[in-house]
Amino acid sequence: MSPWLSIIGLGEEGLDALCPRARNLVAAAEILIGGARHLALVPGRASGPEPERWTWERPLDRTVERLLAARGRRVVVLASGDPLVYGIGVRLARAVPAAEMTIIPAPSAFSLAAARLAWPLTEVECLTLHGRPIELLKAVVAPGVRLLLLSHDGTTPAAVARHLTALGYGDSRMVVLEHMGGPAEARHEGRARDWPHDRTADLNTIAVDCVAGPEAVARPSVPGLPDEAFRHDGQLTKREV
């Protein structure tokens, strides 16, 4: 079967930044799927039938099941940035053969942040905290490590700052980049221990240049972590002595 599903990444510039091929796919769609913010970027058509517009349901699999049932129709999913970097493209790639999909990414938040900081991405640990516990940082924080983190919302930077300080990395430099690529783009900087912002814009990416203080607990650079690095209810296979 020829491609029927298109997954198109959007940046803060919206449809204006899409290549002609992506614009044509959106214009020809019978079904448009995305968050309310993304769907609002697509204007009504001057002529011809309007596409169906589906917003993501909770749980997400409800919409995925409807999408799969529409196989053979022209379906376009609008996503943020690169859909295959912690995005909906990962979920759909497990359900739809590659030959039936067209994926057109926009730059990921990681790429945009790395470009603004001149950090080589191959030398950065990239992690998402969207819907995930802040304790994940324990496994990646180490002296000299650079982190790029996708936030859950505007409270995430302050939570990261508190957690870094608790781990002994309060001197780490943090940069929070909001709405990268759009007219509302903004940047906030500071040390973790002195982080002044209780809340930032919900759409943000956090950069951390890890600096260990004397109280920091060193993490091994080889496979395996100490017992205290894990969340558990008391039932844990202890490491060998």
pLDDT value at position 237? 73
pLDDT digits (tens, 9 = 90+) for 79-95: 999 999 999 999 999 99
pLDDT digits (tens, 9 = 90+) for 105-122: 999 999 999 999 999 999
Reported CATH class of domain 5-106:
alpha beta
pLDDT value at position 94? 97
Quick one: pLDDT band at residue 240, thresholds 50, 70, 90? Answer: low
> What is the torsion angle, in degrees rounded to the nearest 10, for the CA atoms of residue 94, residue 96, residue 102 and residue 105?
-20
For the chain, the domains span: 5-106, 110-221
Residue pair 142/208 in contact (Cβ under 8 Å)? The answer is no
Compute the distance between CA of residue 8 and CA of residue 18 in angstroms, rounded to an integer.
9
> Is the pLDDT reported for residue 41 higher than 70?
yes
CATH 3.40.50.970 fits 110-221, yes or no: no
pLDDT value at position 1? 80
Residue pair 129/135 in contact (Cβ under 8 Å)? The answer is no
